[in-house]
Amino acid sequence: MLRLSKEVIDLLWEISQAANRAFDTLREAEASITEVQRVAKAVEGGELAYEAIAPLEKIRNDALANFHLLTGMAAPAMSLPRSPFAPNSIEATPVLATPSVARMTERSEDLPVDYRERLVTRYVQKREAVTRQVADGALPGNYQLPELSDLFERAVSLATTYEVMVEKGWEPDVVLVPRGLDFEQWNALLSGHRLADQSWSEGLHRTWAGFEVAHPANSEVDVSPWGIAVISGAERPVLTSVSKDGKHGFNAKRAVKEFSELPSVTDTSSAEAVIQRASPTEERYLALQLSHLERGERPVDSRTWTIGRENLKIGEEQGSLYFYFRPEECQFKSIWRRIDAFDNSDGIRPSAGDEDVVANS
């Protein structure tokens, strides 16, 4: 057993506060549901449509799941005198942590506050979604999300990348990435989500069936089915009018310079190498889109295309993958184009995964 440091206590206190906010959201949602039901009953002949209550039920259920998960994560801090769950009469006592909690938090002082908060929030949201997806059969049983402590070292390795993206205004997000899924599994995960226009997402469509993916160097992942990525969550790519080879488009030179400064871009031997290393893999991009769907948010790239990291062998030449969301078909598209192609809607969505900065185990 290890005694908690001040940094550990601060992190657990933040988690406790997040649990407290989840509980407040739960109470507010329940009160809103009660009020909607009361008003509906008061209207003579009125019927309560499911559409009127469904969003409130989702808020309530999400808040309840978040509350239970966060209180479990914050258990070592429950007896702290400042804990929102501690009785006022409790006196300060030494707090002990299990080794797993200590591993998760021993380097928390290395993380920027906003990155640490985003990491915890995204983990909680993903934990709930994955539990549901495993239960529904959309994910295999071995894809249960591991404890945050098991992913923490890899999250720490991406902190510098997150800070660089913040400084450049690239709106970085933290994404939990399921690895090694096939087309059918991704299609199932991306299907059946309610969109803003009340339509339903129709999954994934690839137009490059029959072509072989030429994986870039150093793209092999370890045996873990889950990874962590930092990726721009902006509605549009941060720099457009750039070709995959980095040689064409009015932003090409700027893109090569800007993305060379990312810690994950370890190969700067050519413009193409820089663009490739800064671009997201297909599974990393789909994980970003899936996270938006799971939170009821609008998908990115509804009018733009993001250049992908992978290239394809097309005869004797290479083509690059491109990704976007097509609202008219409610589908996420994975297509290919020539590596020297560009237009004002194509661009780079900077990204880095833990496999880019951590040696495989």
- Judgement on whether residues 274 and 163 belong to the same structural domain of the protein: yes
- How crowded is the C-beta side of 81, counted as CA atoms within 13 Å? 6
The Cα–Cα gap between 308 and 322 comes to 5
pLDDT digits over 292-313, tens only? 999 889 999 999 999 999 998 8
Rg (CA), the chain: 22
Residues 82 and 166 grouped into a single domain? no
Domain span holding position 68: 2-110
The answer to whether residue 146 is domain-embedded is yes
The reply to whether 120 falls in a domain is no
Between CA 78 and CA 88 the distance in angstroms is 12
How far apart are alpha carbons 16 and 71 in whole angstroms? 7
Residues 344 and 270 in one domain: yes
Q: Is residue 128 part of a domain?
A: no
Q: What is the pLDDT of residue 77?
A: 53
Q: What SS3 state is found at 3? A: strand
pLDDT tens across 259-283, in order?
Answer: 999 999 999 999 999 999 999 999 9
Dist CA 24 CA 70 (whole Å)? 13
pLDDT digits (tens, 9 = 90+) for 21-37: 777 777 777 777 666 66
* Residue that has been written with the tokens 């009469």 in this structure: 89
Q: Is 172 helix (H, G, I), strand (E, B) or coil?
A: strand
How many domains does the chain divide into?
2
Co-location of 41 and 142 in the same domain: no
**Ramachandran area for residue 108 (φ above 0: left; ψ -120 to 50: alpha; else beta):** alpha
Whether residues 31 and 89 fall in one domain: yes
